[in-house]
A and B are shown apart, each in its own frame.
Chain A
Amino acid sequence: MAKREVKMTIASDYSEARKAHREIMGAVDASGFNESSTFAIKLALEEVLMNAIKHGNQCDPAKNVRIEAVISPRQFELTVEDEGRGFDPAEVPDPRTEENLEKIHGRGLLLMRSYMDEVEYTRGGRRVRMVKKNREEAPHPPPC
């Protein structure tokens, strides 16, 4: 089965993110991913798009988010890049600690790392590449 590619640049707008999410998940659904992998991709995709818009671009309508997904029956690969100031993923506090457990924000990165097989940040945190292999696998919490 052929690879499917979805490439787009969207404004920092939630309705644009919705459309991107739908298009990418359409390609995932057409590629025969199993239920567990589909759930994982859906969740991580939501988190990465929201992070790019909300935290990366600070919801600035003048800033864009570049999205590139390459989907084959064996693997989902996604690259998302925002135009924000960047950040250091290593400095994001662990939301599972007692002091952070009741905080409203801060779980997106944990969920992305738990559900994707690979998560790699480059360009000062403005760009993230994620990979999910299409196989049955329970999510693994990242090492503490």
Chain B
Amino acid sequence: MAEQLPTVALSQQKDVRIVEFTNSKIIDELNIAEIGQALTAIIDQSPNPKLLLDFGQVEHLSSAALGMLINANGRIKSKNGQLRLCNIKPQIYEVFLITKLNKLFYIHPTRQEALASFT
């Protein structure tokens, strides 16, 4: 069986957990479920989670992936945490615009700007 590569790369900057999606496509149901579980675990680790999602590698995503992000957002909000998204390629950002999810999520062009926006 081929080795499974991790779907996310984790790092930390001060009290902000940074999650970088390592797959270029967040479309596979199994992949999405795995990422969702990883995000839930990270969110549950902290009383007031601060989470930054870096989409630099992402070239495709599906509506199921958007649902997973909305779920993560809801969990963070329920814990008075903060969620930011960054490095979204124009074609992917278009998906957020079409679905009006740019109004739900705090989206920044760069990781640096996103990190600076946490309070």
Footprint of B on A, CB under 8 Å? Answer: 14, 18, 36, 39, 42-43, 46-47, 50, 95-96, 101-105, 107-108, 110-111, 114, 138-139, 141
Contacts and interface: CB of A to CB of B under 8 A. Distances in A.
Interface in B1-53: 27-30
Contacts of B95: 43, 111
Contacts of B68: 104
Given A46-B27, A96-B100, A110-B99, A104 B70 contact: yes
B99 A96 contact: yes
A111 B67 contact: no
Q: What is the interface residue range for chain B against chain A?
A: 20 to 34
A38 to B, nearest CB: 10
B66 interface: yes
30 contacts: A14-B29, A14-B30, A18-B28, A36-B91, A42-B60, A43-B60, A43-B62, A46-B27, A46-B60, A47-B63, A50-B63, A50-B64, A95-B100, A101-B104, A102-B73, A102-B74, A102-B104, A103-B70, A104-B67, A104-B68, A104-B70, A105-B63, A107-B67, A107-B99, A108-B63, A110-B98, A111-B95, A111-B98, A114-B98, A141-B98
Contacts of A47: 62-63
Contacts of B66: 107
Given A46-B62, A104-B70, A107-B67, 16 more contacts: A14-B29, A46-B27, A46-B60, A47-B62, A50-B29, A50-B63, A95-B99, A101-B103, A101-B104, A102-B104, A104-B68, A104-B71, A107-B63, A111-B63, A139-B94, A141-B98
Interface string B54-88: 00000010111011101101100000000000000
Nearest to B60: A42
Contacts of B67: 104-105, 107
Closest 7 CB pairs of A and B: A104-B67, A107-B63, A96-B100, A108-B63, A46-B62, A114-B98, A14-B29
A39 B91 contact: yes
A15 to B, nearest CB: 9
A47 B67 CA distance: 13
A14 B64 contact: no
Contacts of B62: 43, 46-47, 50
